[in-house]
Structure 1
């Protein structure tokens, strides 16, 4: 049973009314319960009362900072937090992650992507997950939901490096070290090229699942996110 099917509760902390409504509509269509709050005290009260399973937290809020709210929440709770922001500066992004954010979503984004990210974080943090990835080092293969795909040695090394720390971001430098034991010098674009080809190979087998996620300016992470089909289309958030 997926997180959405259990009626997981997602708190939306977003001061742009239209965007908050857009996110709410998509989350509810995916089966989640939602609540929109802006007051820091009300947010803390909701978390402490156990009314929240995940938080979509805008970084730029009137009168306060999403980073400060994240910091305050982390003093009392490990509820999953997904930062949402128009800021694309790497320092701000990494500061958010260091304060305990579980993911970082930059505007503009697709509402479908946000729902997929929420689902992935909840799958990772809630008990009772099924359909885990299986890696076979003898056959250089990846298996998921009864289907299997063969990988090259480099592709397997890439997946294995990410799978060793599921849900965590690995920089390109760290991936290079894991993928090339002879310590050859390769560029960031080489890593990006391998990721692109691997994604294409996986998409041929699982066209409704995303395995490898990009974190802009930081690197890549591995977690399974089923691509949800929404009943109506909507423009990307801005």
Structure 2
């Protein structure tokens, strides 16, 4: 009878461990790493501004380093490995506990950094940088500026020479498409296309906070101000 009670208790604990494991897995799927996104946005924005001012078209972002403690797929035993014939309740709990730990650890690793090294992200960044350089004179004159939603808008058409005025809206539209593509590619590279708008919010803060002196940016209420 005592043996049956122990087994029932262990079975209940096993169900609890399984529930925690599934909850941890869900957390990995829905958690947006805001701090990592802001860190990446700050890095990319710094590089775009620097390159535009220096006349460079190249952006270099260090690829995401593999965790030194993460075992390889071939070497790591599966948390759901089929037990042997003598696999008891204690061992079942051990495997379930390990699954919970791996899921929670996966959440922590996802929050630590974002992957920005994919070819699609690199191409998107190069396009943003090249167009930012082309638009440099219009930023400097105050004709255009960064909005509070991570894009660019025409602010003062009178600051543009008449011969160039007709082409500027198209340049602004093209640049906004490049910016939105960058945000989308970063989200896609990290397996979460739904993060695109949140990544855009992170970049919006960076574009405004790091804008060079003389650039015009929008405040939270939409008012324009010169850096």
Q: Which has the higher contact order (CA 8 A, sep 6+)?
A: 2
Considering fraction of residues, name the structure with more helix.
2
Considering fraction of residues, name the structure with more strand.
1
Superposition TM-score, scaled by structure 2 size: 0.26
Superposition TM-score, scaled by structure 1 size: 0.25
Asked which structure has the greater CA Rg, the reply is 2
